[in-house]
Amino acid sequence: MHPKLFEIPFIHLTIQSYGTMMVIGFLAALWVMRRMARWAGLDGEVIGNAGLYALISGLVGSKLFYVVHHYDQFRGNLASIFSGSGFEFLGGVIFAGAVLLIYLRKMKMPLMMCLDILAIGLMIGSGFGRIGCLLNGCCYGKVTDSPIGIRFPYDSLAYNSQVRPDPARNRTEPLLKIDDDFFGWLSPDKQSWIPARPDEKYEAALKPYTMLTDRQKELVAGPYRCLKVYPTQPIESGYAFTLAGLMYGFWRLWASRRPGLTMATVMWGYGILRLWVESLRDDNPFEYAWWTLYKGGTVSQNISIYLILFGVGLMMFVLLKAPRIDITPKKK
């Protein structure tokens, strides 16, 4: 876990790992999408611009979705909204999708063919984005005894989740019980530690590692260390890259002549993945809202179900109703 990659000297600008991986993912996706567009005889610059608009609107949408979804943690501290962590991938997909529809229609581009290309780029970006999640420590999994389990450091998001109850996930007791004196607040001058009362400890912060006593450091390296969790970020990253590769081959060999088919396959393929991975994650609250098909599942699981249904429906429409087109691939 390395949420901060490095700091630029003199200007003291910290480069965040999540943002860096997002940029790398965007550049990789942009390169692939432009090659696909040229191969299909489309304007690569328009596709590139669409990808940029998708990135920006996706970041805005994923942040807004996260804030709405976890509003309680921002109440009274709205400035924390702009911190580096806290995004909902599917919220970004929904918002970016709306922006893309408007832009592509304005540019009079073949909508379904462009969305096929962008869907593959989205999976490439998602693969890199989940690597950023691993470095950032978010999107962590449930506790497991599996040999593939990984541990996060003290005071990480996963660690904080384990040492506190989580009513949003129907957990009334912490998974890992630590001494009360680990909870509290920094003094106004940030030079000393003020322990919390036992009845308010779960609303307090964890003591910074640099202020731990030698005994406390031994505890967090031993019996109080973070429990192993499922490596949900690498699992989803590997799946996204695999899906992108398979869909690229599928599109080149056949699906480019059936616009919409690749996007539909990505929708239900990613929906199945996310539905499963969410069952291994331990960071999202359970939902019982009126719109949920899976009561007690997470928001992402319910959106995934809708993605699967819509993707299958779109696939059937493309195969049964949409006309087949002829494409003469452009030489490089």
Q: 260: alpha, beta or left, given left = phi > 0 and alpha = psi -120 to 50?
A: left
Helix, strand, coil percentages for the chain (3-state, nearest 5): 60, 10, 35
The pTM of this model reads: 0.86
Q: Which residue has the tokens 């260390």?
A: 225
Mean pLDDT of the chain: 88
Residue 117 has pLDDT above 80, yes or no: yes
Mean pLDDT of 121-142: 93
Is pLDDT above 60 for 45?
Answer: yes
Beta-bridge partners for 150 = 229
Alpha-carbon span 197 to 204, nearest angstrom: 9
User: How far is Cα 231 from Cα 1, in angstroms, rounded to an integer?
Assistant: 12
**104 touches 37 (CB < 8 A):** no
For the chain, give every domain's residue range. Answer: 4-142+231-320, 157-221
Strands 193-195 and 205-206: unpaired
- Kind and range of the H or E element at 185? strand 183-186
pLDDT in tens, 167-211: 999 999 999 999 999 999 999 988 899 999 999 999 999 999 999
Per-residue model confidence (pLDDT) at position 313? 96
Pick from 80-89, 92-101, 126-135 the range whose average pLDDT is largest. Answer: 126-135
Q: In sequence order, which residues have a C-beta less than 8 Å from that of residue 318 and are 6 or more positions away?
A: 112, 258, 259, 260, 261, 264
| Token pair for 20 | 């860096």
Q: Which amino acid is at 234?
A: P
Least confident range of 89-93, 206-210, 276-280: 89-93
The pLDDT value recorded for residue 242 is: 97
What sign for the dihedral angle of Cα 233, 100, 244, 313?
A: positive
